Amino acid sequence: MQQKSKGIKYFGTLTSLLRDRDSFLEEVKEGVRLPSKIISLLVCSSLFLSIYGAIIGAYHSWMQALSSAVKLPVLYLITLLICLPTLFFANIIFGSKRTFGQFFAIVLTAVSITSVLLFSFASISLFFMISTNHYQFIILINVIIFSITGFIGVSFLSKAANVVLEQEPDKIREKSLEDNLEYKLEQNQEQNREQNLEYKLEQNLEQNQEYNLEQNLDKESEILIEQDFIKFSKEDLQDNSKHKLNKDDNGSKIRQKIVKYWLFLYAFVGIQLGWSLRPFFGTPGSPFQLFREREGNIYVSIIQSLAYLLGIR
Amino acid sequence: MLEKRTHKAENLNVLINLLRDRQNFLEEINQGIRLPNKINSLLVSSSVCFALYGLIIGASHSWMQSLSSAIKFPAFYLLTLMICFPTLFFFNILFGSRSTLLQHLAVLLTAVSVISVLLFSFAPVTLFFLITTPNSYQFFKILNVLIFLITGFFGVKFLYEGMQILSKQNENGKKTRTFIVQSWLILYGLIGMQLGWFLRPFFGSPGSQFELFRAIQGNFYLDIIEAFAEVFGFK
């Protein structure tokens, strides 16, 4: 009974993500119940991915189905874990104030979206598997499904990154700057007042009333000058704070770029991991194997086969 | 024990501080606030990060290689820094910088720490390729060269920023000093390459026996070109 309600809770997080993405991201941004969100996203996405994995493996045999059901979630989630530190530290270096949990959450949302979409394609994939016997066609259709879902997941990731990583020009710092400014102004004014008072006192003590008129004129001009000074210092401070805000703006642009470049890293690692985890489908007629014998590095293989095609070797 | 732990936490704190709010950190260096403390923590944390990365790249060969790389790798970055540091400092002083020795050291160390943290963040990726493709030594090497390039680029960027802030106060001779930093970077690169070559092997070519140091031979650039040639199949 309890387990059931737990399952419903996990599912609830996912549907809330799907239904009302904006408020979900807003919650991630504010760090509301992050651990529970992360866990439920993890559970949901691995569940959906393993269902899809089981379906594509079922084309070969039930053993292949089982192994694919494990391999497919592993492929998506391990790649994520491998690449996450790079994203986190690179963002921190460019002034992000988000926590590791928040980064984990937004990247997981992208994977969850992909997994849900894959799940929604599962019936179509299953239908083609039952109705056709053509291995290459099934591979082709799956590649298309994977690229569509992956593309939507990625576009969602960049949107989520925009929402969550966007730091409104640092309210706290801005406030402290303003406070600083006011404080300095007050200090200046107080100083001026004190100086004026002392000055007046001295003047009164030292000088006759005849002199007073001239002194008053002098004082007035002095006060004017000081007011000018205050004005300038205020402008200066404001300029400074603007400069800092601009700087932060610059940082947020760089951070968005980092997310984009990080996707390449994710793909780079994911391709290699997919290569090492093969087979997912299992060629029909071949005996079941958990892993194919290691063919090493996919990039080296690609370059070598290219070289072979071009006749360099 | 407890004291040690808090010490560690403090080191980490300084590092996170540096990463999160660089502007303030550099400003603090500029004002000379708790400099020795900062320098210590930066030294410790960057050595730890470098050592971890060294451990991983050495593991492609054997555990002995991995241990030796874990020591060599921080030594490589920090020794190069120490060798080149006086040149930068005295040249800067000569052209009117008013910053102290410690301030210069702190700014340089921030750049190195940034590199070390970025390398640390790439460590899972390297480890992954190490595990999945045990036989492609040359690919592993090129991947690492790429990672070093990326991290080094960011480190240099931050060094620039730090130097800019240090020489903010006196405009006198600022242009010359920027030029000095640029030329110094080239010097740093040259020294680093030579030292790196001298400290080889870091990776240890597969099938060879463990050696602490290799007999000096060849040249860095030739080796990289050879690695590319092997991957692209020209050889």
ipTM above 0.90, yes or no: no
The Cα–Cα gap between A118 and A150 comes to 9
Rounded Cα distance between B112 and B105, Å, is 11
| Cβ contact, residue pair A85, B134, below 8 Å | no
Distance between CA atoms of residues A63 and A57, nearest Å: 8
Spatial CB neighbours of B124, under 8 Å, sequence gap ≥ 6? A81, A82, A83, A84, A85, A86
Q: 3-class DSSP state for residue A291? A: coil
| CB pair distance less than 8 Å for A272 and B129 | yes
Question: A225 falls in which pLDDT band (50, 70, 90)?
Answer: low
Cross-chain CB nearest to B231 (options A82, A269, A300): A300
Task: Give the distance from residue A6's alpha carbon to the nearest chain B alpha carbon, in angstroms.
Answer: 33
pLDDT score, position A171: 47
Asked if the model's pLDDT at residue A15 lies above 60, the reply is yes
pLDDT band at B1; cut points 50, 70, 90: very low
Closest to B213 (Cα-Cα) out of B51, B75, B49: B75
Phi, psi of B159 (to 5 degrees): -60, -45
pLDDT in tens, A85-141: 999 888 888 778 888 888 898 889 889 989 999 999 998 888 888 888 788 888 888
Supply the DSSP string of A61-94, one letter for each residue: -HHHHHHHHHHHHHHHHHHHHHHHHHHHHHHHHT
- List CB contacts (< 8 A) between A299 and chain B: 139
Identify which has the larger pLDDT, A246 or B203: B203
Query: Picking from A65-69, A128-132, B132-136, which range would have the lowest pLDDT averaged per residue?
Result: B132-136
Which helix (H) or strand (E) is A30 found in, with range?
helix A21-30
Give the tens place of pLDDT for each residue, A255-274: 888 888 888 888 888 888 88
- Asked whether the beta carbons of residue B125 and residue A97 sit closer than 8 angstroms, the reply is no
What percent of chain A shows pLDDT beyond 70? 70
Distance CA B184, CA B190 (A): 10
Share of chain B above pLDDT 70, in %: 91
Q: For residue range B152-166, list pLDDT tens digits in order.
A: 888 888 888 888 887
Instruction: State in Å, rounded, how far the first CA of chain B is from the last one.
Output: 56
- B132·A86 Cβ contact <8 A: no
What does pLDDT average to over chain A?
77
On whether the CB atoms of residues B127 and B61 are closer than 8 A, the answer is: no
Nearest CA distance, A106 vs chain B (angstrom): 18
Distance CA A153, CA A155 (A): 6
CB contacts of B234 in chain A (<8 Å) are 312
Facing A82 at nearest CB: one of B124, B134, B139 = B124
Would the CB atoms of A296 and B234 count as touching at under 8 Å? Answer: no
Q: Which residues contact A15 (CB under 8 A, 6 or more apart)?
A: none
Q: A146-155, A263-272, A292-301, B117-126: which has the minimum mean pLDDT?
A: A292-301
pLDDT, residue B154, reads 87
Which amino acid belongs to residue A217? L
pLDDT at B117 over 80: yes
Mutate to test the interface with B, among A79, A81, A82 (most CBs of B within 10 A): A82
**B139 chain-A contacts, CB cut-off 8 A:** 297, 299-300
Confidence band of A36 (pLDDT split at 50, 70, 90): confident
By C-alpha distance, the chain B residue nearest A268 is: B125
Please give the pLDDT value at position A234: 60
Size of interface A-B (CB pairs under 8 A): 81
Tokens 């404001």 belong to A238
* Separation of alpha carbons A98 and B222, rounded Å: 43
- Residue A82, chain B, CB below 8 Å: the answer is yes
In the predicted structure, residue A202 carries a pLDDT above the cut 80: no
Please give the model's pTM, rounded to 2 decimal places: 0.72
